[in-house]
Structure 1
Amino acid sequence: MTTEHAGRLAGPLSASVANLCRRLQPQVSPRTAAGFAQVLRRLGAPLQVAVAGRIKSGKSTLVNALIGRRVAPTDIGECTRLVTRFQYGTVDRIEVVFHDGRKQVLPFAADGVIPAELGVDIDTVSHIEAYLTHAALQHMTVIDTPGLGSLDAASVARTEHLLSAAAGHAEPEPWDSGESGDGTDETGDEPGDAEARADELDETSRNAVAGAEAVLYVVTQGLRADDEQALAAFTAATASREAGPVNAIAVLNKADTIVPESVEGAEGDLWTAATLLARKQAEVLKPRVADVLPVIGLIAESAESGQFTSGDAEALRQVAGLGDDVLDVMLLSADMFTSWECDVPAGVRVRLLEKLDLYGIRQAVDAVRADPDLTAGALRRLLLDASGLAAVRARLNTVFAARADGIKAAAALASVTALAQASGNAAERQRVHDAIEVLLAKPEAHQLRVLEALTLVASGAVEMPDDLTEEVLRVGSNADIGTQLGRPGGSPPELATYALERAGWWRSFASFGATPAQSRVAHVVHRAYFLIWQQLKAQGGSR
């Protein structure tokens, strides 16, 4: 773990967990204390977001668009079979990290991309660390993963190692004492077995701290069973915190390949079709993801990473100058676009196709024809808008960045609990459990209770009626108060009144209509509504 971000905490909750770790370190075993030190380093790092999905879903292209630089290789090569972490650094560099802990520094290729061939035995490599002096990475580390569904079993294993539990045993419920009441710990082992599993647990702890806290899952038109399985297996940090609306969103990539006529209600419009299809996929993946958003990763990468040049803009002007009959034929297929005889050189057309594909070319040509004086910069911005990347970034900020403090604090607490349980020392485990309960009792820590309740409901661990499930997901998954209350755009007085009404309803439900498990969730939701009401009242939203 790099120290370049050390000490930069996401917010007050992360600071509280960091203080808890420091306070407990002298009171636990050296091995547990070393694990707490890893948790502290992780708390001081940016949020770790894994970009995952099936092979050829366009993950690396999307990574480049998000970073704003074409650095992740998109062609099949050695490095596309490895997990690559893109993080902020003071000097651009690549570090190949081996399974035995060794590191080897490599230069970037001449085109600024990670070399396709690393010149080392790939079977001995754990992952790649890429440090970039790019502002986009100061607040979010982006983790590019090999594709699920690849024929390369080792690549799949590396991805699943990141996305699913590193060890084959069950992890404790977050913030649980680990007592099962039958003389065994939550893993099902006898208390004396802990030392026998010491090496495995140490490896689990290391991998957990190095893994992802949130996931951006890339899908294409056809969802498959392993898409859902991968999301179901996703764990943020430790303790099997499954993918849910707090820490996972999905994107429908390659939206330009959708045939609008195949989607009912699209009325022949491609973006409408993509939006409708994304909504259908969101229903299938719910509640594993907060949303599914359409995007065209290739156009986003070209427009955002500096690949679209003034020369490309000029080439598009030449294409726009072709006659309608010729252009209509050329835009029927990629082969027709590159092979049809016209005044624009074939090599220029190939380059445009590689950067924008047919949909992007059509959008650019229409824009140039509508405004012949359009500058190259304006055309790049228009293409970026057409890619859908802005909406993805906005959702990333809403779901991840705005909740980074809670996500990181919750993941860190789960790690602390797992580390204490792994020690096999009942007194140590109880000491950690008690300290966590004290932290959770503080009003400012209620966000963690909300995240826990949301995870319980989203994973199906606590079953609720559909309407109440929707309400829990809405309250827990959004940062905007109006959206949390299901009344976007409502006036502060109206929102305050409604929040107080719902607080009362959930309190009654917790006391009289709920099962014990539901009551636990209901009390959390009641408290969430009450705190929202207090916040609105303080802002003058209630008289």
Structure 2
Amino acid sequence: MTDSGIPDLLRQAREVFGHDAAALAVVDELRQRWEGPLRIAVAGMVKAGKSTLLNAIIGEEIAPTDAGECTRIVTWYRYGATPRVTLHPLAGGSLAGGPRNVPVTREDGRLVFPLDGTPAEDVERLVVEWPAPGLKDLTLIDTPGIASLSTDVSGRSTAFLLPQDAPSAADAVIYLMRHMHAADLGFLESFRDTAAGQSGTVNALAVLSRADEVGAGRIDSLISAAVISERYSQDPDVKSLALGVVPVAGLLAQSARTMRQADFDALLAVATMDRDQRERLLLSADRFIRGTGTAGSDGAGQLDTATRESLVNRFGLFGIRLGAALIRGGIDAPTPLAHELARRSGLGHLLDSVDHLFQSRAGALKARAAVVGLEALLRTAPAGSAEPLATALERVRSGAHEFRELKLLAALRTGSVPLDLRQSEEAERVVGGHGDLPAVRLGLPPDSSLEEISDAARSCLNRWRALADNPLMQPAAVEACRVVQRSCEGMLAGIPAGR
């Protein structure tokens, strides 16, 4: 989404609501959101691994992963030059005063937010500012568990992600699930909406978290998880609600991104054990921690109970097996081992998906929030006073091709466009359903030349133009063809002259 339209709309809104302090606060928030990084919420049921995955994405253990008070609070993680944690009290709650700083402390390398007896139900949100490079272009929001036994905890996530009279505070959502349950589908269905031509289909990505558990911690667990994820991705119910399903071993991803020398030394000790003894020891977490059968001069004898317990807590049996196998395969230093474990955890696939599905169209996703927010404000404006703003808003909403792409993408994934399967699949790809880069839209290799992209875009344009001119095509299909044509024209316009 280009800058044309949204900044002007926000300036007009300030003029219209100049005497309404509450409305001006909303407009200012929409401006900050438009100018700031993309906001992605991490959601899912209790124990889905949200905080663990968030730590893996950031590359530091700053999100609490225990079952303490902080996991019941919506927590924002954004970039800051110096570490700072700010507590924002709930309006109308028992806490007096405005936002206040919370001490930044660490225990065993992990960040801890001491609330000093403050009830979690009186806290609207925590804002953690941290100098992590991964947060420069992305604000991550950790949410309490959906379908929690506590209706208060579950309600916080629902109210935050699905407000009734305002745009969601998140531009996109990564939804974690251990298996596909009715509650998962119910949440994704609720997250989908149709305002501004939008749908959860275009801003929700599902993650099969704790993917290593799919194969009971076997070294080939991620292969099994990938097969299940692909099956979920093709399920009509899931496809209409999420852009895809990605398998990730979150615990392994977090520990790989935060690997310590002590972790490598312990995995090296496991790798040097007698094979049969190692396999017997890794039959269960309890057996490994107790060190059953480890007496002797082999590697296991070098590990005390606390070290073995730390390995299980940080890597799980899958990570221990994989780490030991990689060391036996020739990796002899912590850094290359960490990189390989992170790659095999599925984290790279997830980060790539976030980049080409969300970050590449961040402008359009943030623009949707501005449009929906202004539409909500207009419903409260006195009749006639905001008519010029309403007209300008409608002009932007109906004229922005990015919105038309999002609307068509949602319709294609719900099967409501009268095109055949091949045409629907191509249209979905061309309008950005698999990523926003021209090569991806055109089904070309990432390193395709500008000439190859130009030829493919021109061929695609001619093909969809011919389809639109077919007198037997239904009006809804013709409209879809026109959107695809415009996407092709946009790609051609972006190629420098003479190429």
- Structure 2 residue 11 is the aligned partner of structure 1 residue 60: no
For residue 449 of structure 1, report the CA deviation from its aligned partner. Answer: 2.4
8 Å Cα contact 1:82/1:127 also seen in 2: yes
Distance 1:480 1:41, change over 3 A: closer
Query: 1:481-496 to 2 correspondence within 5 Å?
Result: 481-488=438-445, 491-492=452-453, 494-496=455-457
Aligned equivalent of 2:375, options 417, 420, 423: 417
- Structure 2 portions without partners, runs of 5+: 93-97, 295-300
CA distance in 2 between partners of 1:533 and 1:377 (Å): 43
Aligned partners of 1:243, 1:385: CA distance in 2, in Å?
A: 28
Residues 434, 522 of structure 1: alpha-carbon distance in 2 compared, 3 angstrom cutoff: farther
Deviations 1:40-80 (A, max 9, x none): 12112211100011111101000011111111111111111
Give the alignment of 1:233-382 within 5 angstroms. 233-234=190-191, 241-244=198-201, 246-259=202-215, 269-284=220-235, 285-304=238-257, 306=258, 308-339=259-290, 340-342=292-294, 343=301, 344-371=303-330, 374-382=332-340
Tell me if structure 2 keeps the 8 A contact 1:163–1:235: no
* 1:514 matched residue in structure 2: 474
Structure 1 contact 507–526 (Cα < 8 Å) conserved: no
Name which of 134, 137, 144 aligns with 1:136.
Answer: 134
Which of 165, 174, 188 aligns to 1:216? It is 174
* Contact kept in structure 1, 2:197 and 2:407, CA below 8 Å: no
Relative to structure 1, is the Cα distance of residues 56 and 534 closer, same or farther in structure 2, using a 3 angstrom cutoff?
A: same
8 Å Cα contact 2:88-2:125 kept in structure 1 = yes
How do 1:97-176 and structure 2 match up within 5 A? 97-100=88-91, 102-111=98-107, 112-115=110-113, 118-164=116-162, 166-167=163-164
CA distance in 2 between counterparts of 1:15 and 1:87 reads 27
Q: Give the aligned residue type for 1:345.
A: D
Deviations 1:190-243 (A, max 9, x none): xxxxxxxxxxxxxx44xx47x1010111122x2001111111212689769431
Matching of residue 13 in structure 1 with residue 19 in structure 2: no
Q: Paired residue for 2:95?
A: none
Does the CA contact (< 8 Å) of 1:163 and 1:230 recur in 2? Answer: no
Whole-Å separation in 2 of the counterparts to 1:451 and 1:351: 46
- Asked whether the equivalents of residues 214 and 236 of structure 1 are also in contact (C-alpha less than 8 Å), the reply is no
RMSD: 2.9
* Deviation, structure 1 residue 538: 4.2
| Whole-angstrom CA distance in 2 between matches of 1:72 and 1:392 | 19
AA in 2 matched with 1:447: E
Greater shift, 451-460 or 471-480, is seen at 451-460
The residue type equivalent to 1:399 in the other structure is L
Identity of aligned residues (%): 28
Structure 1 range deviating more: 483-492 or 40-49: 483-492
Q: Secondary structure at the match of 2:327?
A: helix
C-alpha distance 118-231 of structure 1, shift in aligned 2 (>3 A): farther
Q: CA separation of 1:24/1:115 partners in 2, compared to 1, >3 Å: closer, same or farther?
A: closer
Give 1:524 shift: 2.0
Q: Within 2, Cα distance between the matches of 1:433 and 1:356?
A: 54
Q: Is the 8 A contact 1:49 1:212 kept in 2?
A: yes
Give aligned pairs, total.
474
Q: 1:440 to 1:505 in 2, by over 3 A?
A: farther
Higher mean C-alpha displacement, 349-358 vs 460-469:
460-469
Letter matched to residue 243 of structure 2: A
| Alpha-carbon spacing, 1:538–1:499, altered in 2? closer, same or farther (3 Å) | farther
Partner secondary structure for residue 111 of structure 2: coil
Deviation at residue 503 of structure 1 after TM alignment: 3.1
Query: Partners of 1:512 and 1:92 in 2: how far apart?
Result: 62
Higher mean alpha-carbon deviation, 148-157 vs 283-292, is at 283-292
Q: What TM-score, normalized by structure 2, do the two folds share? A: 0.86
Using the size of structure 1 for normalisation, the TM-score is 0.80
| C-alpha distance in 2 between matches for 1:377 and 1:276 | 29
Q: Distance in 1 between matches of 2:306 and 2:358?
A: 42
Secondary structure in 2 aligned to 1:223?
coil
Structure 2 Cα separation of the partners of residues 355 and 148 of structure 1: 25
Which structure 1 residue ranges, 5 or more long, are not aligned?
1-11, 168-203, 263-267
